[in-house]
Amino acid sequence: MASILLVTSSPRGADSLSTRFATEIAEGLMVRTGGTLSIRDLAAAPLPHIGQAYIQGRVAPPEERTPEQAEAVRLAQELVDEVKAADLIVLGSGMINFGPPSQLKAWFDHITWPGVTFGYGEGGRPRGFLTGKKVYLVAAAGGVFSEGEWAPFDFQTGYLRHLLGFIGLTDVELVRVEGTVFGPEAARAAIDATAGRVRSVLETLHA
């Protein structure tokens, strides 16, 4: 039985395609594995941006932390524990100004924690500690960024893959939904294509 963590971040609410397809994948994984599902909706409950309390608190001895530092570290530890407990992680990210939503960036800022989720080994090479997990990354964009003239401006998927890999999450399956701003027919075709991709991902797991 697998433990599944779903992290969504789009501020578009019910209109969000990244949230829609990430949720479909997470619920499909739950059904196929007989597992449990935990949800972290970063749009409905945004995290604070990291500040001095977190930066100083995470390196201070617990007994010397101020109340603000203790709370900042407690929140970060809660987020890290959610990731550690998960066997399968599903992330939903909708492109905003060519990158991921700031809500998702804040989540990564909390869990990218020196000595806890990553460290530096021989020769100063970084080593992620959150290994042995599968990540499904659902990345939505109105334009087409997987190829063509706009591909160099995709600062979403490469950045998220890098952050995931930095903390040890290197087994990442990317599911894109893109090209939805070119009229109703193009939007329907894009959504249908992603729906087919999601079915394929889940069928492969079932097989």
Global confidence as pTM: 0.95
Over the stretch 25-64, which tens digit does the pLDDT of each residue have?
999 999 999 999 999 999 999 999 999 999 999 999 999 9
Residue ranges of the binding site = 10, 16-18
Over the stretch 188-205, which tens digit does the pLDDT of each residue have?
999 999 999 999 999 987
Please give the pLDDT value at position 104: 98
Whether 207 has a pLDDT exceeding 70, the answer reads no
Residue ranges of the binding site for FMN = 10, 16-18
Q: Over pLDDT 90: what percentage of the chain?
A: 94
Q: Are 25 and 82 in contact (CB under 8 A)?
A: no
Please give the pLDDT value at position 206: 57
Q: Hey, what are 176's tokens?
A: 């894109």
The span from the CA of 6 to the CA of 178, in Å, is 21
Over the stretch 138-181, which tens digit does the pLDDT of each residue have?
999 999 999 999 999 999 999 999 999 999 999 999 999 999 99
Name the pairing type of β-strands 126-128 and 118-120.
antiparallel
Residue 172: CB partners within 8 Å, gap ≥ 6? 135, 136, 137, 161, 164, 165
Instruction: Spell out the domains of the chain, with CATH numbers in brackets.
Output: 3-206 (3.40.50.360)
